[in-house]
Structures are given as structure tokens and as C-alpha cells.
């Protein structure tokens, strides 16, 4: 009989070595996530059960749910509701703009496609804050619309510091996050299925509704999440373009950590938002798994 190439059991050692190498590759990311995500999250979590002293100091001396109770305040409800609507409308508008555009890109020749994708990503090359301040000028009374209305002898028209300005800013900022996943989904689509639908007497629009749309659902969901989640808690855009009149979630939380000196409340609100997002993600994964 031939001698085996290696002793029994050695393959286990080889597999273990392989796993160790894999772990080493992931190590920098693990460390990063622990230091910059897990630890801060833990601090926020603990703080949310802390107590605010009369002077505004955060006391960790007892377990308190008072911050969570405070969340039931109608003012918080109004702010959450307003933020939810802004995020929903932002997502819907992004979807409406991005789908046709992503469809257009995905159906071009590869060279044109790449050029268009670069165009989508160009805004990322400059600073988000700078771009948002640019909008402040465009939407303000010194901007094109303002100047035009003034020249017509009217009161200069100004969108700045209105909810519409926040919406424009958010749509502008997050549109690429909607375009890219949609593009990826549409680009992956098997066009023969659309042809098959046309072959089976569906007109162009029906084929789109019955085949293209359901088969690009994963892109719609991914893009919507990527836009909705950051819009919901957005701080920079509402702060710069909204003028801080109608309070939104982001500003409210920032205020709790700053002027209001109520870290437990800010933390509790952050935790609740995170929990809601997590549940939404889980529901999405459940329904997505069945599709893929």
C-alpha cells in the first residue's frame, strides 16, 4: 500500500492556519470598529441611563430611565415626525430623479456609462460643507432667483431658511447614494427577460412595471436606505440651509449635548433611532432574502 501524503489530522491544522490568516487580514478593521464604534456606542448606551443633575452635569451614580421617559414629551414627537417626513420626501424625490437617470446610464455604451458614473461621483471630490454653503448663496436673496425677482421689481425671492431649502440640500447631497445602487441593479438586469415580456404582448410600460421594476427592487431598497437613514438624522444641511427655525432630530440631539447640557436625553434619543433603524434593516433583510 502507498504511504499517505500526510498524517491524518494534519489537514485540520492546515485549515486552522488558513482561518488565522483570514483573521489577521480582518484585524485592522476589527480594531478600528471596536475603538471607534463599539466603545462610543457603549458610552452612549450607558449615558442614556444616566441622570442629569440640576446644574446639567451627567451623573452616573444611579440607573435612571428618566431620559427615556422624557422622549415621550410631545415636543420630541413633533421633531421626530418632522424629521421623518423630511427624510421620506427626500428619499421619494431622490428615487424619482435617480431611477430614470440610473436607467439611462445603465443602458448606454460602456464608455459613455463610465463617463456618466464619474460625473455622478465628481461632487464627492469637493468638501460637503463647501458645497452646502454654495447652496446657501444660490437659495438666498442674493442668488439667481432673488436677483431675478428683484430685477422684476418684486421683493427678492428667497428659499433659504425654509423646509424646501433643507429638502433641496438633502436631495442634492444624497442623490448619488440613490443613483449608484440603482445603477448596479439595473446594469445587472437580464434584458432578455424584458424582451420576453414584450414578446408576451406586454407594452413597454407594462414590461417595465412587471419585470424591470420587481427585478431591480434590491437597488431601490438599498438606495432608499442609504438616503433615508442619513436624511433622518441629518445635521449639517438643516443647520446651514434651514436656519434652525423648525427643529429637526440632528440639531435637537446636538443641542442636548451642547447648550441644553442634557447628555442622557441626547443619548437616549440616539439609541432609540438606532434601534428603529435596526428593526427596519432586519425587516428588509427578511423580505430581501426571499427575493434573492
Partner 1 sequence: MTKAAVELSGVTKHFGEVVALKGIDLAIADGEFFSLLGPSGCGKTTTLRLIAGFEFPTSGSIQIHGKEMALEPPDARPINTVFQSYALFPHMNVERNVGFGLQMKKVNSNEIATRVGRALDMVQLSHRANAKPDQLSGGMQQRVALARALVNEPEVLLLDEPLGALDLKLRQQMQIELKELQERVGITFIYVTHDQEEALTMSDRIGVMDKGELLQVGTPKEIYESPTSRFVADFIGDISLLAVSVVSPTEVRLSGGGNVPADTSNAGDGSHWLALRPESLHLVSAAADVPDGMVRIPGKVRHRVYYGDSYFYDVETTAGSLDVRQENRPGLPTFDAGTELMVWWNPAAGSLVTA
Q: Note whether 202 binds partner 1 by CB under 8 A.
A: yes
| Binding flags for partner 1, 161-200, as an x/- string (CB under 8 A) | -----------------------------x-xx-xxxxxx
Question: In the complex, what is the shortest distance from the CB of residue 147 to partner 1, in angstroms, rounded to a whole number?
Answer: 48
Question: In the complex, what is the shortest distance from the CB of residue 200 to partner 1, in angstroms, rounded to a whole number?
Answer: 4
Question: In the complex, what is the shortest distance from the CB of residue 192 to partner 1, in angstroms, rounded to a whole number?
Answer: 4
Of 28-36, 98-106, 173-181, 208-216, the window that binds partner 1 (rule: CB under 8 A) is 208-216
Residues in contact with partner 1, counted by CB under 8 A, come to a total of 19
Q: Which is nearer to partner 1, 70 or 210 (CB)?
A: 210
Question: In the complex, what is the shortest distance from the CB of residue 76 to partner 1, in angstroms, rounded to a whole number?
Answer: 41
Q: Note whether 291 binds partner 1 by CB under 8 A.
A: yes
- Dump the DSSP string for the chain: -PPPSS-TTHHHHHHHHHHHHHHHHHHHHHHHHIIIIIHHHHHHHHHHTSEE-TTS-EE-SS---HHHHHTTSHHHHHHHHHHHHHHHHHHHHHHHHHHHHHHHHHTS-HHHHHHHHHHHHGGGGS-HHHHHHHHHHHHSTTSHHHHHHHHTTSPPP--TTSHHHHHHHHHHHHHHHHHHHHHHHHHHS-HHHHHHHHHTT--HHHHIIIIIHHHTHHHHHHHHHHHHHHHHT--HHHHHHSTTSS--HHHHHHHHHTTT--HHHHHHHHHHHHHHHHHHHHHHHHHHHHH-
Q: Out of 100, 144, 214, 258, point to the residue binding partner 1 (CB under 8 A).
A: 214
Q: Note whether 112 binds partner 1 by CB under 8 A.
A: no
Question: In the complex, what is the shortest distance from the CB of residue 184 to partner 1, in angstroms, rounded to a whole number?
Answer: 17
Tell me which residues touch partner 1 (CB under 8 A). 190, 192-193, 195-204, 206, 210-211, 214-215, 291
Amino acid at each position: 500500500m502507498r504511504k499517505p501524503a500526510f498524517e491524518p489530522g494534519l489537514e485540520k491544522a492546515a485549515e486552522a492556519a488558513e482561518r488565522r490568516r483570514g483573521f489577521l487580514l480582518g484585524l485592522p478593521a476589527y480594531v478600528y470598529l471596536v475603538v471607534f464604534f463599539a466603545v462610543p456606542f457603549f458610552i452612549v448606551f450607558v449615558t442614556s441611563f444616566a441622570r442629569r443633575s440640576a446644574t446639567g452635569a451627567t451623573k452616573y451614580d444611579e440607573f435612571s430611565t428618566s431620559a427615556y421617559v422624557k422622549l415621550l414629551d410631545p415636543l420630541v414627537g413633533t421633531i421626530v415626525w418632522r424629521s421623518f417626513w423630511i427624510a421620506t420626501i427626500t428619499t421619494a424625490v431622490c428615487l424619482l430623479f435617480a431611477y430614470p437617470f440610473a436607467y439611462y446610464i445603465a443602458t448606454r455604451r460602456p464608455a459613455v456609462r463610465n463617463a456618466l458614473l464619474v460625473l455622478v461621483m465628481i461632487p464627492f471630490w469637493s468638501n460637503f460643507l463647501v458645497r452646502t454653503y454654495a447652496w446657501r448663496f444660490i437659495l438666498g436673496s442674493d442668488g439667481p432667483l432673488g436677483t431675478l425677482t428683484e430685477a422684476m421689481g418684486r421683493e427678492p425671492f428667497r428659499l433659504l431658511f425654509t423646509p424646501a431649502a433643507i429638502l433641496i440640500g438633502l436631495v442634492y447631497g444624497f442623490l448619488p447614494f440613490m443613483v449608484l445602487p440603482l445603477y448596479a441593479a439595473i446594469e445587472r438586469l437580464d434584458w432578455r427577460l424584458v424582451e420576453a415580456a414584450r414578446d408576451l404582448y406586454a407594452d413597454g410600460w407594462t414590461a417595465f412595471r412587471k419585470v424591470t421594476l420587481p427585478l431591480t427592487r434590491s437597488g431601490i431598497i438599498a438606495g432608499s436606505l442609504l438616503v433615508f437613514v442619513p436624511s433622518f438624522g441629518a445635521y449639517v444641511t438643516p443647520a446651514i440651509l434651514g436656519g434652525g427655525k423648525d427643529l429637526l432630530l440632528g440639531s435637537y440631539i446636538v443641542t442636548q449635548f451642547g447648550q441644553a447640557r442634557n447628555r442622557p436625553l441626547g443619548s437616549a434619543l440616539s439609541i432609540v433611532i438606532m434601534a428603529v433603524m435596526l428593526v427596519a434593516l432586519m425587516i428588509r433583510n427578511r423580505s430581501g432574502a426571499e427575493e434573492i
